[in-house]
């Protein structure tokens, strides 16, 4: 026990960093579930879209969305989500997969949706970047017209 105490006092920066990393890892694995929504991978999202008619909600800004988005995704920037919640009411019973560039803004949107009474909400883990890395198709504004 004395050796552990000595190690911790001599290496308090390393021990502190280890604790922070462990907290972040635990939060990434169970944080979404504690907040009331789950994370989903791109392949799981495709299954939900095909089998359960899931809605993909893209919360990126207009320019990001125009560069490329998931086919048939509803575009509603995070900054407008609270004001335009009524657009989502008709989809309340469906699974909703929320996507952004990397998964951070979509996490915020998932929290907002859960507070508004949407029960079946999923965060696209890794966002559109993960979708691209999985070699799944995106359409840009020119293609979708």
pLDDT number for residue 37: 85
- The answer to whether 110 is a known catalytic residue is no
pLDDT number for residue 140: 84
pLDDT number for residue 142: 59
Half-sphere exposure of 45 (CA within 13 A, CB side): 28
Task: Write down the pTM of the prediction.
Answer: 0.77
pLDDT number for residue 33: 64
Residue 91: count of CB within 10 angstroms of its CB:
16
For residue 78, the SS3 value is: helix
Q: Where are the alpha helices (DSSP H) in the chain?
A: 2-10, 12-35, 42-52, 62-67, 104-115, 127-133, 141-144
pLDDT number for residue 31: 66
Residue 50: count of CB within 10 angstroms of its CB:
9
pLDDT number for residue 32: 59
Is the CA virtual torsion 136, 81, 35, 94 positive or negative?
Answer: negative
CATH 3.40.250.10 fits 37-144, yes or no: yes
Q: Digits of tens for pLDDT over the chain (145 positions)?
A: 889 899 999 999 999 999 999 988 887 777 656 677 888 999 999 999 999 999 999 999 999 999 999 999 999 999 999 999 999 999 999 999 999 999 889 999 999 999 999 989 999 999 999 999 999 999 986 555 4
pLDDT number for residue 26: 83
Residue 99: count of CB within 10 angstroms of its CB:
30
pLDDT number for residue 1: 84
Catalytic residue among 97, 100, 110, 113: 100
């Amino acid at each position: 026990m004395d050796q552990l105490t000595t190690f911790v006092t001599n290496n308090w920066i390393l021990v502190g960093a280890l604790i922070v990393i462990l907290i972040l890892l635990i939060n990434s694995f169970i944080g979404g579930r504690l907040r009331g929504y789950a994370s989903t991978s791109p392949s799981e999202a495709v299954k939900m879209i095909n089998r359960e008619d899931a809605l993909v909600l893209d919360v990126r800004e207009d320019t990001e969305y125009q560069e490329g988005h998931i086919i048939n995704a509803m575009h509603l920037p995070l900054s407008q989500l609270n004001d335009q919640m009524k657009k989502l009411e008709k989809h309340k019973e469906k699974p909703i997969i929320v996507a952004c560039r990397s998964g951070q803004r979509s996490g915020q949107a998932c929290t907002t949706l859960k507070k508004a009474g949407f029960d079946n909400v999923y965060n696209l883990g890794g966002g559109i970047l993960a979708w691209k890395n999985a070699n799944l198709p995106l359409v840009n504004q020119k293609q979708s017209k």
